[in-house]
Amino acid sequence: MKILISKNAEKHLDSIFDFICEVNKKAAIDVYNTILNGIDFLIEQPEMGAIELLLEEFPCAYRSLIVMKKYKIVYFIKDEIIHVSAIWDCRRNPANLLKEFVD
């Protein structure tokens, strides 16, 4: 399996890092690395994430893996490639996750 991280997911990850870094740089680094480790773990068990119910209307089966009880790695699997589409802060309005994929 190979992992591809979308520009959108990279932007989300950078945004999370920058937000936390304003308060605590070490915590920001820890969160950043933990999310990346979660993504890497998908190589071993790509289907471990639950089907993302908010994104059921899309043709590919989006899955999500919760990391640190606050962040969701949203991805789908196609042709032996794990496509990470978003890194979502679960404290945000869930309806906005759908908007990320429609816009």
Whole-angstrom distance, CA of residue 4 vs CA of residue 82: 6
Q: In the chain, how long is the greatest CA-to-CA distance?
A: 41
Report residue 56: phi and psi, to 5°. Answer: -60, -25
Q: Which two tokens stand for residue 45?
A: 């068990």
Nearest to 11 by CA among 88, 93, 99, 101: 88
Please report, for the chain, the start and end positions of each structural domain, with discontinuous segments joined by +. 2-102
CA distance 12 to 3: 17
Distance CA 34, CA 47 (A): 19
- In tens, the pLDDT along 53-66 reads 889 888 889 999 99
pLDDT of amino acid 103: 52
pLDDT in tens, 33-50: 999 999 999 999 999 999
Whether the model pTM is above 0.75: yes
pLDDT in tens, 62-100: 999 999 999 999 999 999 999 999 999 999 888 888 787
**CATH dotted code for 2-102:** 3.30.2310.20
